[in-house]
Amino acid sequence: MNIVKQGYNPYLPSWEYIPDGEPYVFDGRVYVYGSHDRFNGHAYCLNDYVCWSAPEGDLSDWRYEGVIYRKTDDPLNPDGSMCLYAPDVTVGPDRRYYLYYVLDKVPIVSVAVCDTPAGEYAFYGYVKYADGTRLGERDGDEPQFDPGVLTEGDVTYLYTGFCAVGDRTRSGAWVTVLGPDMLTVTEEPVVVAPSEPYSQSSGFEGHEFFEAPSIRKRGDLYYLIYSSVVMHELCYATSRSPTRDFVYRGVIVSNNDLHIDTYKPADKPMYYGGNNHGSIVEIDGAWRIFYHRHTNGTNFSRQGCIEPIRFLEDGTIPQAEMTSCGPNGGPLEGRGEYPAYLACNLFCKDEALYTGAPGEWMDSRFPKITQDGRDGDEELGYIANMRDSATAGFKFFRCSGIRKVKIKTRGYCRGVFEVRTSWNGPVHGRIPVVFTNVWKEYSADLVIPDGVQALYFTYTGEGGASLASFALESSTDQDR
């Protein structure tokens, strides 16, 4: 596949599944830390922690840094029966890198340490009170979950929490202050964002804290990013203090583009949503939001995505739109071949807000982004199970003189792919397809209007098609 090198979503290779991304810039490189899903996995976060990095000025050039921590490295998990849930990393007063995480069946926070951002981390200890009692095990403590950390001088702020709707045993997101040893509690935990049962008159109503706290500072404002009780959205609250007075401000991104009404109704899901986790970071002078999407028709094969964000004068962040070109910082070239797994919109006539409850798989009505082979096989992703009405959307492209569109499909199908520049707009052309056991190319002469455009491919017909890629050709290309 002859693909022009640009920044795409998902930003890592299509066979890599790194959700819960916490991005940082260290010495001119962007490092992403997250949990590690398994293709065709039966649960969240089955694999060991790995790290990827890219030059700050080129988010198309990601480098695999290798395994940085194994689930069996924790003394509580010698047999690997527990999973490594979403981690975070901070630089301590000693300039070493500290990895905070929670295993999936214990209520405490573990810490590992390394001299470099992406080396092999070594177990360091458990967050504890001065008397040695581990945080999460003292009477009155709530179980720890999804640690997010920020270090300022000799002080580290640790944010944790998981709060299901209706669970009155969980109060919200907690912050605990740690001393210079990165382990010992120096200030008692306090709630900074309420759970659903305790949100009345808080300003968080409808977007209460669920999980995934992440903390960043911009100017004199602290930004608490978190997943709300509706799961698919990453919300944020701000304060001038890291430990109190956080005010709900809005949604940064939704992994099914809910709330956005610029190109579709605000309540129409444009992708199959699910839990979300990520954070914001300034890269080469521009701010981005890292988040994840769900693939393979399940909750357990999640992939990281990036979108640019902007700040208004009052510090608020308008909601970002899901795109295929987010890491690129602008539209993709309207020429050449693109893999179908870059779809930022994916839906059919049977609407669904969520991929499904944990453990459930979407049935054959729904299209899904998937791959051949097994976990770890470097097989290029594609869209499977495109049945009548299934639509894949790609945004955005800088189009000029496009006169032909090609697609590669396979499957038990007989129908056409309709090509549009909006999800419900006029059809610019139709590409007939028929049954084939191997990837086969089809094409149609058509005109895509010049300018920055979205592209939508809708299958209508019998059976189900898989879509591997599409290619755009201009009149200049055809004359060559």
Three-class SS state of 341: helix
Neighbours of 107 (CB within 10 A): 16
Nearest in space to 279 (alpha carbons), one of 101, 23, 14, 465: 23
Task: Report CA torsion sign: 70, 76, 77, 78.
Answer: positive
Three-class SS state of 296: coil
Beta strands in 344-401 (DSSP E): 345-347, 368-370, 382-386, 391-399
Q: Give the number of residues written for the chain.
A: 480
Instruction: Judge contact between 419 and 402, C-beta under 8 A.
Output: no
Q: Both tokens of residue 246?
A: 């956080």
Q: How far apart are CA 178 and CA 167, in angstroms?
A: 28
Q: Both tokens of residue 259?
A: 């709330």
Q: How far apart are CA 295 and CA 395, in angstroms?
A: 18
Instruction: Judge contact between 217 and 282, C-beta under 8 A.
Output: no
- Give catalytic residues, as residue numbers: 20, 211
Q: How far apart are CA 208 and CA 165, in angstroms?
A: 9
Q: Both tokens of residue 152?
A: 């300022």
Unique residue bearing structure tokens 């179980």:
143
Instruction: Judge contact between 339 and 380, C-beta under 8 A.
Output: yes
Q: Which residues does residue 149 pair with via DSSP β-bridges, in sequence order?
A: 158
